Amino acid sequence: METLEEIKSRITHALPGARVEIIPNESPSGQRSLLVDREHAVRVATLLRDAPELALDYCSNVTGVDWPEATMKTKVKKTTVVDGVSKEVEEIIETLRSGCLEAVYHLYSMSKKHGPVILRLRTENRTDHNHLPSLTPVWRGCEFQEREIYDLYGIVFDGHPDLRRILMWDGFKDFPMRKDYVEPDDYDYEPTPHDDVLEKAKRHRAAEVKA
Amino acid sequence: MDEGLKSELQKQGVFTTSLEGLYNWGRQNSVWPLQFGLACCAIEMIATTMARYDLARFGAEVFRPSPRQADLMIVAGTVTKKMAPQVVRLYNQMAEPKYVIAMGACAISGGPFKQGYNVLKGIDRYIPVDVHIPGCPPRPEALLHAFMTLQQKIASQELTGPNRPRHLNADAPSEFPVPAFGEHDLVPAKNSELWQAPAVARS
């Protein structure tokens, strides 16, 4: 299979203007992925499916990721000269990471027997600009999984044929897999609480005593 | 009737019993379960009905596909919040006398999914449960034991007096409110008349 760099140059060649970025992965798997912009996502997906060398005709898995706003700390080594002696000093640089919601697509080729190629799409933010283009028109198998992401993360997939909640009921308002999900306080009976549950049970008990 | 006289008569080939005993004997040996399963516990329930464990020995082999014909609801598996109203509605549609066995960790307390966002913390928050079976999933022997426990419960019921069973007491409710889908949780989150949190010894 082509390397990710080759796939990236293939995309930028065929679709000038498409912004494609290779996301590194420092974990032992080293499985890198392609971040594609929202405007070109459907065309990029069609290209990956239809290019005869790639033929990524099977989307095996779609999943969601919630990236809340966070301050990232990176350590940088700097050499400074103090009283004529050069010293190596570690400096911590804090950068603010803006939050977003992400959909991750794992693509394989059944005919070529290769894969996976991992596509990522990111929303602009986590609150009001939470739209992504649906890739269900490209891979039919995405339908239920995009519905699940809509249900649990609240990403709205434009162009999805039947975007409804799939696991929770229609009147449900929350998105349970988001990091800031507040669950209903039903910790009234916890016979063996520990860790997080212990804290929640204590909070429930305190609220009960007050009422 | 005097037990000694009863046994003496039995040796002579004369069997005596009370109407209550006869009535309960008939009921306890023809408990027909409702045919439905919710999760992996249902597989154990199915195994229980098959030849190796043979629930038919207890007169309960006839799994009814309609709640109108069923006497026993075996809540076998995880009750999700989305499924809970349907389970309560099925229970309401069963004719009296009716019984409930909550089978497995999920049905009695939510089990491994207790702190999840989508699982009910025990079906006894909405309907009265006669026998709870722990286990994940309980073995068929455990279900048989629960079944025998239920039979003993039926056999010991008095047909008159304040402790008479629910189906002979016009004042006792036989239907329970079906929870509605709320914006964040089921509404109400529990039937407070039916279920109160047991006291937990806290240090």
Q: Are residues A122 and A166 in the same domain?
A: yes
Determine, yes or no, domain membership for A86: no
Any chain A CB within 8 A of the CB of B200? Answer: yes
Interface residues on A facing B, Cβ-Cβ cutoff 8 A:
167-174, 176, 181, 183-184, 186, 188-191, 196-197, 205
Confidence bin at A126 (pLDDT 50/70/90): confident
Instruction: State mean pLDDT over A81-105.
Output: 85
Q: Mean pLDDT for chain B?
A: 90
Contact B49, B76 (CB under 8 A): no
Q: Is B203's pLDDT higher than 60? A: no
pLDDT at A66: 93
- Domain span holding position A187: 181-211
Q: Are the beta carbons of A174 and B184 separated by less than 8 Å?
A: yes
Determine, yes or no, domain membership for B163: no
Q: Are residues A167 and A203 in the same domain?
A: no
Confidence bin at A140 (pLDDT 50/70/90): very high
| pLDDT digit string, tens, across residues A28-62 | 988 999 999 999 999 999 999 999 999 999 999 99
Instruction: State mean pLDDT over A179-201.
Output: 87
CA distance A5 to A201: 51
Show the tokens assigned to B7. 């046994």
Determine, yes or no, domain membership for B171: no
| Stretch 134-163 of chain B: residues touching chain A, C-beta under 8 Å | none
Determine, yes or no, domain membership for A19: yes
The one-letter amino acid code at B171 reads D
Nearest CA to B60 out of B167, B155, B144, B138 is that of B144
Angle at the Cα of A89 (from A86 to A95), degrees rounded to 5? 140
Chain B CB contacts of A168 under 8 Å are 82, 118
CATH of the domain at A142: 3.30.460.80
Nearest CA to B123 out of B174, B84, B173 is that of B84
Determine, yes or no, domain membership for B197: no
Q: Are residues A192 and A158 in the same domain?
A: no
| pLDDT digit string, tens, across residues A153-177 | 999 999 999 999 999 999 899 999 9
Q: Are residues A43 and A111 in the same domain?
A: yes
Instruction: State mean pLDDT over B154-159.
Output: 90
pLDDT at A75: 82
| Total domain count, chain A | 2
Determine, yes or no, domain membership for B9: no
pLDDT at A82: 77
Secondary structure percentages of chain B, helix, strand, coil, to 5:
35, 10, 50
Q: Are the beta carbons of A169 and B183 separated by less than 8 Å?
A: no
Instruction: State mean pLDDT over A56-74.
Output: 91
Residue with tokens 């027997």: A113
Show the tokens assigned to A60. 């095996």
CA distance A135 to B195: 47
- Which of B118, B121, B183 comes nearest A186 by C-beta? B121
- Domain span holding position B55: 18-158+177-187
In chain A, the percentage of residues whose pLDDT exceeds 70 is: 100
pLDDT at A86: 81
pLDDT at B17: 87
Q: Are residues A21 and A105 in the same domain?
A: yes
Contact B114, B121 (CB under 8 A): yes
Residue with tokens 């009905």: B49
* Chain centre to alpha carbon of residue A134: 15
Determine, yes or no, domain membership for B11: no
Nearest CA to A54 out of A109, A116, A16 is that of A109
Q: Are the beta carbons of A189 and B82 separated by less than 8 Å?
A: no
Determine, yes or no, domain membership for A93: no
Determine, yes or no, domain membership for B28: yes
Q: Are residues A115 and A209 in the same domain?
A: no
Determine, yes or no, domain membership for B77: yes
Contact B38, B74 (CB under 8 A): no
CA distance B146 to A188: 27
Higher-confidence residue of A85 and A117: namely A117
Q: Is A118's pLDDT higher than 90? A: yes
**Closest alpha carbon within chain A to B199:** A189
- Which of B81, B82, B200 comes nearest A191 by C-beta? B200
Please, what is the end-to-end C-alpha distance for chain A in angstroms? Answer: 64
Chain B CB contacts of A184 under 8 Å are 184-185, 189
Determine, yes or no, domain membership for B135: yes
pLDDT at B199: 79
pLDDT at B79: 94
Nearest CA to A19 out of A37, A39, A42, A46 is that of A37
Residue with tokens 């299979």: A1
pLDDT at A201: 87
Contact B39, B77 (CB under 8 A): yes
- Which of A169, A183, A188 comes nearest B181 by C-beta? A169
| Total domain count, chain B | 1
Instruction: State mean pLDDT over B5-26.
Output: 90
* Chain centre to alpha carbon of residue A70: 15
pLDDT at B202: 62
Determine, yes or no, domain membership for A81: no
Q: What is the pTM of this model?
A: 0.85
- Which of B117, B183, B197 comes nearest A173 by C-beta? B183
CATH of the domain at B143: 3.40.50.12280
Q: Are residues A53 and A123 in the same domain?
A: yes
Q: Are residues A168 and A188 in the same domain?
A: no
Size of interface A-B (CB pairs under 8 A): 42
Q: Is A197's pLDDT higher than 80? A: yes
| pLDDT digit string, tens, across residues B34-66 | 999 999 999 999 999 999 999 999 988 889 999
- Which of A169, A188, A197 comes nearest B115 by C-beta? A197
pLDDT at B141: 94
Q: Are residues A138 and A167 in the same domain?
A: yes
Show the tokens assigned to B85. 């109203």
pLDDT at A62: 94
Instruction: State mean pLDDT over B68-89.
Output: 93
Q: Are residues A165 and A210 in the same domain?
A: no
Angle at the Cα of B173 (from B33 to B199), degrees rounded to 5? 90
